[in-house]
Structures are given as C-alpha cells and as structure tokens.
Amino acid sequence: MPRSKIRAPGGLRLKSSAIPRTRYVVPLGTAAPSPAAQHRYEVVRWYEEHGRLTRLTARHFGHSPDTVSRWVRALQARGMRGLESRSRRPDHVRQPTTPLATVVRIQELREQYPRWGREKLRVLLLREGTSVSAKTIDRTLARLRRRGQLHEPPMVRRAALARARTASRPRRPAGLVVDRPGFLQLDSQETRFGGTAVFTFAAVDFLTRKRVISAASQLTSAAGARFLARVQERFPFPIWAVQGDGGHEFRGEFALAAAAAGITQYTNRPNYPQGNGRVERSFLTDDQEFHEVEELTPTAEGLERQLVVWNRVYEEIRPHQALGYLTPNEFYAQWVAEHPTATAGLSEMS
C-alpha cells in the first residue's frame, strides 16, 4: 500500500509515518479547528513524539501536567472536537423562586415610579404585606429588561446633557487673531468666610491685561449681566468678544445682555484652563498678593471696596512680566501711541 499524506492543522502536509501510530492521534475531521484546538493538538502530538512524558511536555509548553493529561484524554475520547473550548456553564443553574404575583407587582410599581430604586420599591411591597429583599427586586427587574417586558422611560445621562448644552456654545475659532483690545476672558471665583461665600467676577483683556473685577453675594446670570454692564462702563475701549468657562453665571441674562450689546460670546472647552489663561493667572495673582496678604472684609460690599483699591495697584503700579514689566495701563497707552487710528478703528469694530 503506497504511503499517503495527511494535512495537519496549519496546512502542513505530513507523511502518515511521521506521526506515531497511537490510539491518541485520531483523524481531524472535516471542520476547521479553532486556533486553541490546533495548539492543543500540537501539544499532544509533541507529547506522543517525545516518549509520552507528561511533565516534560508541560515544561516545554508552559502548561501544567494536569492540563496536558486532560488534553490527551480529550483527544482520545472525542477527537479534535474534544480539544475545542467548551462552555463552563453548569448543566443545572439556579431558577428564580420569586412568586409570579410578586414579579407582576414589582413590574407594576417600577413602571408606575420608574425613577425609584430597589429600596423604595421594597418599602412599598412591605406596606402591602410582601417581604422581599432589595437584591431580589434587582434580579427581577434585570430579568424583565432582558425579556423586553419592562417599559421604562429612557435614562438620559448627565454627560449626554452636557454635550448637548456645549454643542450650542461656540468655541473660539482656532484661527482667530486678537490684534486689538476688546477680547475679554471671564471667570468667577468663590471666597469663603466661615459659612458665608462671596463671589468675585473678573474680566481680563486678552491683549493689554487691563482688568475689571467685582464682588457679588450670589453667583447668578443676573449678577453676571450686571458685571458685564460694569465692564462696558470701565474699559476705555469697546468690547467685541468675551470668553468664559460656560458656567451658569455666563448664561441666561448674561448671554441676553451680551447679544443685545453685539458682543460675541465664546465658551472655553471643558477641563482646559489654559484656554482661559489670562483670567486664571490674574486669579492666581489675587490669591498670592491680595487674599493671602490683606485682611479681607467678609461681605460683598466690603470686599468690593477692597478689590477696587487692589485692582488699581494691579493696573497702575504692578509690573507684569508678560508685558515686558510694564503695567497694563502703560502697555495700553503704548499700544494706542503705536496705532494712531486705534480709537476710530475700535469704534467701527464695536
């Protein structure tokens, strides 16, 4: 009888005499084995070719001896199908023992109060004389969901709501060049005096670092709108754009006031303080040179008076490294001198 050739896993053609004739090596069958089964077959074949030494084979392939023995027995008993991975699910699994009437009642209560959790539902059932654990309610609701029998309103995640809100807030265009005063960065800061909080609003001009700062007892959009009006009064140039962090104090009435004044409002992207770096740096200066040095008044009115004095130092006396150690007022005066038509140009742009 002429020698025949068989195909081993992986497409390698082997002569029949190349594989030991033992009871363990069986025909591969017609279905293509999985990569895991092919590997296990190679382990058993190596085991047969090297004296059927279980521990030697286990050390060679990095498996335990028990694993190698199990694969040898599986190939002997069931062929290549025995080397395929099988489900570890037990033959007999625990079946729910919750009475049908209780399941129906749990479903009714959940659909009636779709945002109430298992503990509240457990209390309602207990009032009706049905005692079940909170975990049983959880498992029952999960089974009802899998079967599509539980009708609940869709859960809207906070992240999705945040994305929907920020989608309507334009970001500062990447190619926007700020070559004139009037582009402001806005932010707010909380200062606590025991159980009382006072809020500080700040607006910093992107180009000149000139600043308007004010205190308020509440952090609301109405307070933000009042601050915007103060900013328009105190800056010597018109405001053409503002950028904030998207807080509620820069929405609502503030946004309406900005739109009415023809001011474009941009929103800095979340978790990116560098995008609002001018005003963030000014707050750090306040912390280091004002809050940690002065004896602060724990009221909005008193802190407002102190801030007016401090901001005069900030604009007229304090040298700023970013401005070549000029003050913001000196830098602005220099900029106006270098742009003789600045006043007319700014008026046209406002």
- Contacts of residue 301, defined as CB under 8 A and 6 or more positions apart, other chains included, come to 215
- Over the stretch 217-235, which tens digit does the pLDDT of each residue have? 999 999 999 999 999 999 9
The answer, yes or no, to whether residue 22 has pLDDT greater than 90, is no
Q: What angle do CA 9, 11, 14 make, to 5 degrees?
A: 85
For the chain, give the percent of residues with pLDDT over 90. 66
Average pLDDT of 55-65? 94
pLDDT at 2: 40
- The answer to whether residue 18 scores a pLDDT higher than 50 is no
Question: What mean pLDDT do residues 148-165 have?
Answer: 73
Concatenating the DSSP letter of every residue in 143-210 gives HHHHHT----PPP--HHHHHHHHHHTSPPPPTT----SS-EEEEEEEEEEETTEEEEEEEEEETTT--
**Res. 13 pLDDT band, cuts 50 70 90:** very low
Instruction: Kindly report the number of other CB atoms within 10 A of residue 22's CB atom.
Output: 13
pLDDT (0 to 100) of residue 163: 58
Q: Which one has a higher pLDDT value, 218 or 91?
A: 218
Average pLDDT over residues 6-26: 43
Domain parsing of the chain, residue ranges: 5-83, 100-147, 181-349
Of residues 24, 26, 85, the one with CA closest to residue 8: 26
| pLDDT of 345 over the 90 cut | no
pLDDT tier, 347 (very low <50, low <70, confident <90, very high otherwise): very low
Helix (H) or strand (E) holding 6: strand 5-7
Q: Where are the beta strands (DSSP E) in 206-247?
A: 211-216, 241-244
pLDDT digits (tens, 9 = 90+) for 249-262: 998 899 999 999 99
pLDDT surpassing 60 at residue 24: no
Can you tell me the distance from the alpha carbon of 312 to that of 328, in angstroms, rounded to the nearest whole number? Answer: 10
Give the pLDDT band (50/70/90) at residue 161: low
Average pLDDT of span 286-315: 92
pLDDT in tens, 319-343: 999 999 999 999 999 999 998 776 5
Q: Is the pLDDT of residue 125 over 70?
A: yes
Cβ–Cβ contacts within 10 Å for residue 133, how many?
Answer: 10
pTM score? 0.53
- The helix/strand/coil state of 215 is strand
CATH number of 181-349: 3.30.420.10
Task: Look at residue 342 in the predicted model and tell me its pLDDT.
Answer: 63
CA–CA separation, 301 vs 65, rounded Å? 81
Query: Residue 1 — very low, low, confident or very high, per pLDDT cuts 50/70/90?
Result: very low
